[in-house]
Amino acid sequence: MFENLGWPEILALLLIALFVLGPERLPKILADIGRFIRKIRTMASSATADLNKDLGTNLDITDLNPKTFIRKHVLSEEDEETLKKPLMAAFEDLKRDTEGVRGTLKDTADGITRTNGSSAAAATGASASAASTSAAENTVETTARRRFDDDAT
């Protein structure tokens, strides 16, 4: 809640409180706030100690996350493996099925790279008239592609 509150903001709030509450009431209110914070901390630590005693384990505040709590305190390692096994099998099936697609995409990318490399070599060895014809075709192709606004998509 107060993660973006820095020292300058805290100082500004204290100055505003000093002007609003006055110098005679501000120390009493700050002392009350300090006692309230200590009381909350004591209640939280006693609640943690009660949970540790009732559960019979050493409970950490991160264990209160439901996923972590169930994984650590309710499920045994065998139960966790039993739950993971079907998911791991499905993951391996998916991985095996996508290997073919991955190979096809790699072959296609290699073919495009080879085609671009051979067309560049042919263009450098071609005559000037062939180069001008190619340039004219590229201009027509570029004009055809520019029917759509690139910034709009």
Q: Is the pLDDT of residue 31 over 90?
A: yes
For residue 12, the model assigns a pLDDT of 92
Average pLDDT over residues 75-91: 81
Give the lowest-confidence range in 50-54, 70-74, 92-96, 129-133.
129-133
> Phi and psi dihedrals of 57, rounded to 5?
-130, 170
Mean pLDDT for the chain overall: 76
- Residue among 78, 76, 45 at smallest CA distance from 59: 45
